[in-house]
Amino acid sequence: MCLLATGYDAVTLGNNEGLTFPPQVLQERFGNHPGFQVVVANLIEPGTGRPPVWASPFHVMNKAGLKIGLIGCTAPFAEFYRLLGWEVQEPLNLVAKLAEECVLRWMC
């Protein structure tokens, strides 16, 4: 599967991926595609407090001279994600915080 060939600028994980696949499978699926952006802010690797190394909490891109910030989150089904080895944070406050950071850091 070549994610770059899809034509998408970025993807996020939905609960279908997050609740079906453990960390090692998602690493195999998404970690081997350098240059392809997986944006998911609230899916956290236990012990690190951060999204997986193959993902970013947000992505800023330029389209026709316009900077666009993307923030991705998955559904906060914490109990189910924990069974597969993930932590998941409540997305609403996290998105607000990241949107502010994104504007201050990348858009100015």
Find the radius of gyration of the CA atoms of the chain: 14
pLDDT in tens, 48-105: 888 899 999 998 888 899 888 899 999 999 999 998 889 999 999 999 999 888 777 7
pLDDT per residue over 16-27, tens digit each? 887 888 888 888
3-state secondary structure 30-86: HCCCCCCEEECCCEEECCCCECCCCCECEEEEEECCEEEEEECCCCCCHHHHHHCCC
